Structure 1
Amino acid sequence: MKKIFIYSTLASAVIFAMNSAYADEQKVEELDVIEISSDASQEGLAKEFSGGQVASGTRVGILGNKANLENPFATTGYTNKFIQDKQARSVADVLKNDPNIRVARGFGNFQESYFMRGFITNSDDILYNGLYGLLPRQYIASEMFERVEVQRGASAFLNGAAPSGGSIGGTIALMPKRAPSEDLNRLNIGISSNERTNVGADVSRRFGDSKEFGVRLNAAHTEGESAIDNDKARNTVFHLGLDWKGEKARISADLGYQKNHLSSPRPSVTLAGTVTEVPSAPKATSNWGQHWTYSEERDVFGTLRAEYDFLPNFTGYAAYGFHDGKESNVLANLTVRDNNGNGTEYRFDNTRRNIIHTGEVGLKGNFETASVGHEWTLNINRYQEKRKNAYVMDWQNAFATNIYSPIYLDGIAYSPNALRGNDLGSPALTNRVVLTSVALADTLSFLDKTLQVTLGARWQQLSTKDFAYNTGVQSASYKEARITPSMGIVYRFTPELSVYGNYIENLAQGGSAPSPAINQGETLKPYVSKQKEIGVKYESQNGFGASLALFSTEKPRGYLGANNFYTTKGKDRHNGAEINIYGQVAQNIRLLGGVTLLQAKQRDTGSSTTEGKYTIGVPKFQGNLGLEYDVKAIDGLTLESRLTYTASSYANAQNTLKVKGWTRVDVGARYIAIIGNTPVTLRARLDNLTNKKYWESVGGYPNYGYLVSGAPRTLSVSATIDF
């Protein structure tokens, strides 16, 4: 009955809109963009850049909102309009459009992770309204967000150390929706290949004499089988955003809920040491996942932010966030053991619970000394997390299969030799994490803001405790602190052109000495990754933008020396260049894309087989080009395409297993009609036009080169109605 309702509603909307196109001769235009604030700041969100796909600025950690040309770091902010037009269901769907990012997958699960400048950024380390660790770990629905912002490069000074130690190559920041000035009543319905349907509502109101109080509610549900055989998903999300704006004070609050269930998902593929050649990717629709496997997560999360202006140039702020996440998985991941695709799977069950509390307080202001302007910020941040885990691993009870001719079992029971850790029904505490930091920043402006210099530093303390499975006895502890400095410079040659440079670091817990080492179990001092970057940015008054960034990042790594002592000596060095283009090249043509050239190599590894070799999963070249074309002959019709290219990479540290590069073509169209006073937007999109079979990503967790198969040809259509 539900599918019949969705189909009939969608069909009615399509027919109604198509008929109205002949009757309605008025010019079709997009709805006006309303300037709103997603945190609680006075500045509000940066306005959309010409074309509406990206913003004219982003939030830059403790520095606040920065216009693109005044920002000493490389960033991009994808707008809600762009999210809707691409029919993006998840944050990963949005970031597949970024030429500097490649979406990957977590180790042994279905967590979305991201290669940024050749380093991994996990979904654990995504910022939500400026705070870490608050969103679902594995899948993040896009319906909740006004902006998806990308900060390229290290960011310990800007945001603090990431909870999982990632974000060396970049940080993803998500800004929740707020109520615009005008009432919003939006319904979205859609369907994609193999009857995966989605329904969503987006409603907002503002109240008060000056409309000072706003409420925005988003609710969405997606369910059904994908274009992959027997791969089913069910996702439900609710998000409530509240805000209040007074003369001197501003308060915002968010509350979110998401439940995501995957049934018989297609797992990643691990290559055993006996494989000498990477197997070709199977048929794009093929699914070697067992029918009884599943992955489920349930998350409740929220934030509260407040600002108060003590003086016109002196403001205090505070924020609090919480996250209660539960996960349950029954998995059977595939390990290929020869060049013909033969392999084994075994059952692995696990449950997990994350309880997170985090917050920050700060002061910010501005003043002048002589002819020098100052914009300063003082920030104190604290993050607390409890991780509870349990598992049953039956690796000695493996069963045979083949990646090209999968063997399906009705089910498999645990063997007597299964390894167990804690109780699946009630996972016990295994980790505590506490991150504390204090940061101070000052942006000095010279020559009427033609030259801006940002100086700052953050004192960061990392504290962790590990507890043994089954006994709960504390097995390890770690407490280290370090100051991470940063400097950024921007010089604006003209209102359209600026150059910039920065030095910034990333901080993570040091590695743990492995069993062969004489200092086995010792955790090293914090790893400090160091980034140097220079670049140029251009935004024309006609609405076209471009940027070039040159960067070099060094990440420490553990080294087991000839004396069998484990220490910090090796490093991964990533040198690269990024070119990005965006905006309008003509009144009816928009471009979004770019290329990344990257040399990511291992240095001082202590082994001739890996010294100077390329990092797992990182291509030397990748690029995207998105094109939108408004058809002048048919008012309201837009055609679009996206070309994605990723060069070859390696699936092992020795670079003996080479994974072929790939090219994918996606096409789409949308049509906007005004029916009476009601805008209706019809969208259609065909991803992987040629139904290409390919390995989309290699790895996604440090030092592991598992493979993830690309999705098959997928058609998605939807209708968005603004009542």
Structure 2
Amino acid sequence: MAIPRGPYSLTFVLIVSLSPLAAQAQQEEEDSQTTFSAPTLEVQSSADASEEGLSPAFAGGQVAEGGRVGLLGNQDVMETPYNFTNYTELLIEDQQAASVGDVLLNDPAVRVARGFGNFQQVYLVRGLPVYSDDMTYNGLYGLLPRQYLASEFIQRVQVFRGANTFLKGAAPGGSGLGGAVNVVPKRAPNHPLTQVTTGIQSGGQAYAAADVARRSEDGRYGVRVNAARRDGDTAVDGESRELSMGHIGLDYRGKDLRLSADFGYQDHLMDASQPNITITEGVAIPDTPDASESVAQPWTFSDSEDMFGTARGEYDFSENVTGWLAFGMRRGEEEATFANPTVSNTQGDFTTYRASNTREEDIQTGTAGLRGSVETGAVAHELTLSGSIYRSESRNAYAWSQFGSITGNIYDPQAEPIPATDGFTGGELDNPGLTGKTDLTSVALADQLSMLDERLLLTLGVRHQRIEDASFDYNTGTRTAKYDESAVTPTIGVVYRYTPALSAYANYIEGLQQGETAPNEVNEESVTNGGEALDPYTTEQSEFGVKYDSGNLGGSASFYYSRKPSAEVDSNNVFRVSDYQRNRGLELNAYGKATDHLTVLGGVSFLDSDVNGNEAIGSPDTQANLNLKYDVPTLPDLALDSRVIYTSSQYADSANQQKVPSWTRLDIGARYLVPMGDNRLLTLRARVENVADSDYWASAGGYPGESYLTVGAPRTFKLSATVDF
């Protein structure tokens, strides 16, 4: 049954002026960390129903002091042997970020790409993909909209760098081997919130949002409601987008019991968005087409609609033992028509075809666990036992026109009639059948040891993961493949705190994904083990580094090495794991207040990838980010900010013959606060992204082994006004 749609006719009002850092938004972020005074108990809102609550914001308010580390719960950055950053709601609002991808543009270890043949956001962390449907929502897989997530759902975006199967379990889509992304939903702050925002951006796209939150008088109960609508053309001529979303977040905090729940809805429609562009093998990478003009056919579109809900509870059985239970469900529907060009020469000539598809998906997921503390002599232990389940059913259908049925040129795009789907079909677009089922179950055990007056911290853990997957014929529904394998993934991590401001860490951890199934034939020769399913692939990672926290400035330096297996048919016609992608990297990060008026956020990531002596597709050697925010001392209500993003050259093919040029992008912004009396505050924001209006290839690949390119966004102006009542 289709998810019902509602009427979304809005009138937009905009007050135009300057933008970024809203003091009111920062106060909200800070207040959400502080405690209520109640007759019998201190109350703190918590997105994940944990005793610790939301980690405090670091100096400057753009990142947090800690965050969720999988089954280990919320931990301070300085006390965990893993590498992660938590971007706050304040940063999201100041940058007028519209999606998770916009937020992740701030991370030097991350670049945003696209899914294969669709508009799905993909996040490349340490050169390896994290699909948007492999993000977690308060630690649970599969609950968030698959293609795109609006920022209005988000209080924190947590980026975990590195393999993470022990901490979170295997990702359902098989990604997340180089990192992970976790989204923390919004919760009611400790003061009443009534906020309305309107805005507009280049092309005429208008925006309106409401954010309302209340807590009970004693602070135990909280509710927060968010709704937003975006509609209109974008800075890309010919492209338009619509987004409607709604979210309700509830929480309760008692003496021993903590509860939270979320209900969300999102409908995202894109018309004639810039397509993925593939360059024919052997052809040099051509110049980037004009980013302000869509190469897409006007009849291409993508429409995805999702509803989801989740509930979480935590209970203190005793002073030393706590248990938790969480579960969630999502229903998603998608329909789309694409025409992604394949360019055959440096003059930009291309061929393409119509590819229409529909998808319906149902997800159920959950986790439960116990955590207890005990001391054995001079050693303190925190023991965690956790189990998780994930189940999905997907129904798909497709209909394509003949290959090459559309021709054109990326530098002079022309509208062509939509061709008939007389090429390849599978299933019925109006009634897609069951094509895939995935079941993931796991159990994990961890022991976190504290020694030498909590200066030496040791983490030991192991997870047993089972992966079951079945595929079914699009037309007959007959099962065509079945996979049922399991594996054990361990971890060991150590932290030594030299001083309260300086710690060193090291870890070994693994990533896990489903092994491939051997093809029956390659190059017209039979494969000896055709149809055999390989054991789950294990990506191994080692990392060490140092972390620094002076109270005002923080940062880290880390070095890592990872090895990801890949399979191919060998000289004996046997399909097996025969090679590895080896990634070595150095990452430097800094954040916080450099002076009373200057806030810094940024870093640099160096990556050396190797596959058979060549660099991996879409793996730049260098990525760097620098965000500077300046509070003007002579005008205390004015703040200015800038962001520079640099990505070095990368290859779009495995033979390293197609080199994609480096690119640099400058964004600037400002905010101005206007007191309006009666406890009302007007926050005016303005932002210009890609100030130089550079045309550049923003990413190569995004799906393993594929070499498609995406065009970076053109110069985009954003203006908004927020009123707090």
Q: Which residue of structure 2 aligns with residue 606 of structure 1? A: none
In the aligned structure 1, how far is the partner of 2:188 from the partner of 2:623?
38
User: Match for residue 464 of structure 2?
Assistant: 459
Name the CA distance, whole Å, in 2 between partners of 1:502 and 1:668. 39
Which shows bigger deviation, 283-292 or 227-236? 283-292
| Residue 664 (structure 1) aligns with | 665
- SS of residue paired to 1:340: coil
2:434 equivalent to 1:425:
no
In the alignment, is residue 173 of structure 1 matched against residue 182 of structure 2?
yes
Q: Deviations over 1:538-583 (max 9, x none)?
A: 0113x01110010000001103111111101211000001000100
In the alignment, which residue of structure 2 is the partner of 1:23?
A: none
Aligned to 1:346: 353
Structure 1 stretch displaced more, 550-559 or 519-528: 519-528
Matched, 1:245 2:253: yes
CA distance in 2, matches of 1:288, 1:145: 32
Q: Structure 1 CA distance, aligned partners of 2:307 and 2:26?
A: 38
Question: Alpha-carbon deviations, 1:250-282, whole Å to 9, x = none?
Answer: 111100000000011110101123x42111101
Task: Give the AA of the match of 2:12.
Answer: I
Of the three residues 278, 284, 293, the one matched with 1:286 is: 293
Structure 1: runs of 5+ lacking an equivalent: 18-25, 603-610
SS at match of 1:109: coil
Question: What is residue 259 of structure 1 aligned with on the other side?
Answer: 267
Give 1:135-534 correspondences, 5 Å limit: 135-207=144-216, 209-273=217-281, 275-396=282-403, 398-415=405-422, 418-514=423-519, 515-516=521-522, 517-534=527-544
* 1:66 aligned residue (60, 75, 80): 75
Paired with 2:324 and 2:72, the residues of 1 have a C-alpha distance of 13
Amino acid at match of 1:625: L
Whichever residue aligns with residue 524 of structure 1, its letter is L
- Going from structure 1 to structure 2, the CA distance change for 1:330 and 1:513 (only over 3 Å counts) comes to same
SS of residue in 1 equivalent to 2:200: strand
DSSP 3-state at the match of 1:311: coil
SS of 2:167 mapped into structure 1: helix
Q: Confirm or deny: 8 A CA contact 1:400 1:407 kept in the other structure.
A: no
Shift of 1:30: 4.5
Tell me the equivalent position of 2:682.
Answer: 680
Deviations 1:625-665 (A, max 9, x none): 11001111111111111111100001110001111010111
Residues 72/29 of structure 1: CA separation in 2 closer, same or farther (3 Å cut): closer
SS at match of 1:10: coil
Matched residue, 2:12? 6
Structure 1: which amino acid aligns with 2:256? K
- Aligned ranges 1:81-92 → 2 under 5 Å: 81-92=90-101
Equivalent pair of 2:25/2:90 in contact (CA under 8 Å): no
2:32 corresponds in structure 1 to 34
Q: Work out the CA distance in 1 between the residues paired with 2:403 and 2:348.
A: 20
Q: Confirm or deny that 1:568 pairs with 2:569.
A: no
* Separation in structure 1 between the aligned mates of residue 394 and residue 54 of structure 2, nearest angstrom: 34
AA matched with 2:288: A
Note if contact 1:594-1:623 (Cα within 8 Å) is conserved in structure 2: yes
Question: How far apart are the structure 1 equivalents of 2:248 and 2:417?
Answer: 42
Determine the C-alpha separation between the residues in 1 that align with 2:494 and 2:675: 47
Matches of 1:47 and 1:490, distance apart in 2: 21
CA offsets, 1:276-304, max 9 Å, x none?
A: 21111011212110111110000001111
What SS does structure 1 have at the residue aligned with 2:403? helix
Deviation string 1:295-336 (CA, Å, 9 cap, x unpaired) is 000000111101111101111110001110000001111111
**CA distance in structure 2 between the partners assigned to 1:168 and 1:406 by the alignment:** 38
How much does 1:213 deviate? 1.1
| Code of the aligned partner of 1:651 | A
- In the alignment, structure 1 residue 536 sits paired with structure 2 residue 534: no
Match of 1:720 among 713, 719, 722: 722
Question: Could you tell me which residue of structure 2 aligns to residue 700 of structure 1?
Answer: 702
> 2:605 pairs with 573, 585, 596, which one?
596
Report the AA paired with residue 664 of structure 2.
Answer: T
Q: Matched residue of 1:408: which SS?
A: coil
One-letter code aligned to 2:396: N
Counterpart of 1:400, as a letter, is T
Q: Distance in 2 between matches of 1:30 and 1:524?
A: 53
SS at structure 1 position matched to 2:103: helix
- Number of the residue aligned with 1:107: 116
What is the deviation of 1:27? 13
> Deviation at 1:521?
2.6
- 1:232 corresponds to which letter in structure 2? S
TM-score between both structures, scaled by the size of structure 2: 0.94
CA distance in 1, matches of 2:360, 2:559: 40
Which deviations, in whole Å up to 9, do the C-alpha atoms of 1:29-70 show, x marking residues without a partner?
845532231011111010000000000011100111111110
Matches within 5 A, 1:615-694: 615-676=616-677, 677-694=679-696
Tell me the alpha carbon deviations over residues 47-103 of structure 1, each in whole angstroms, 9 at most, x when there is no partner: 000000000011100111111110110010000011100100100000011111000
CA distance in 2, matches of 1:440, 1:236: 41
Count of matched residue pairs: 698
Q: Cα offset for 1:520?
A: 2.3
Mapped to 1, the partners of 2:11 and 2:656 lie a distance apart of 53
2: CA distance between counterparts of 1:276 and 1:396? 20
Tell me the amino acid that sits aligned with residue 529 of structure 2.
N
Change over 3 Å in CA distance of 1:265–1:613 after alignment to 2: same
Tell me if the contact between 1:116 and 1:152 (Cα under 8 Å) persists in the aligned partners: yes
Mapped contact 2:396–2:432 kept (Cα < 8 A): yes
* Contact 1:28 1:635 survives alignment (8 Å): no
Deviation at 1:673, TM superposition (A): 2.5
Counterpart code for 2:499? T
CA offset at residue 369 of structure 1? 1.2
Q: Which runs of 4+ in 1 moved over 4 A?
A: 2-5, 26-32
Q: Matches of 1:379 and 1:489 in 2, distance apart?
A: 21
1:362-391 deviation line (CA, Å, top 9, x unaligned): 101212111111111100100000011000
- 2:165/2:489 contact within 8 Å kept: yes
Cα distance in 2, alignment partners of residues 57 and 384 from structure 1: 30
SS of residue matched to 1:81? helix
Q: Is the 8 A contact 1:640 1:669 kept in 2?
A: yes
* 2:68–2:75 contact (8 Å) kept in structure 1: yes
SS in 2 for 1:392: strand
- The Cα shift of 1:672 comes to 1.8
The answer to whether the 8 Å contact 2:54/2:67 transfers is yes
8 Å Cα contact 1:28/1:673 also seen in 2: no
Residue in structure 1 matched with residue 37 of structure 2 by the alignment: none
Label 1:147 to 1:300 Cα distance change in 2 as closer, same or farther (>3 A): same
* CA distances 1:431-489 after superposition (whole Å, capped 9, x unpaired): 11000000011100001110000000000000011111101101110111111100110
The structure-2 alpha-carbon separation of the partners of 1:332 and 1:27, relative to structure 1 and needing over 3 Å to count, comes to closer
Q: Contact 2:32–2:188 (CA<8 Å) still a contact in 1?
A: no
Q: Following the alignment from structure 1 to structure 2, what is the Cα–Cα distance between the partners of residues 112 and 28?
A: 27
Q: Give TM-score scaled by structure 1 length.
A: 0.95
2:4 — aligned with what? none
Q: Which amino acid aligns with 1:402?
A: N
2:32·2:54 contact (CA, 8 Å) conserved in 1?
no
Measure how far apart 1:393 and its partner are.
1.5
- Mapped to 2, the partners of 1:467 and 1:568 lie a distance apart of 26
In 2: Cα distance, 1:707 partner to 1:171 partner:
23
- AA matched with 1:445: S
Cα RMSD of the aligned pairs, angstroms, is: 1.7
Distance 1:468 1:29, change over 3 A: closer
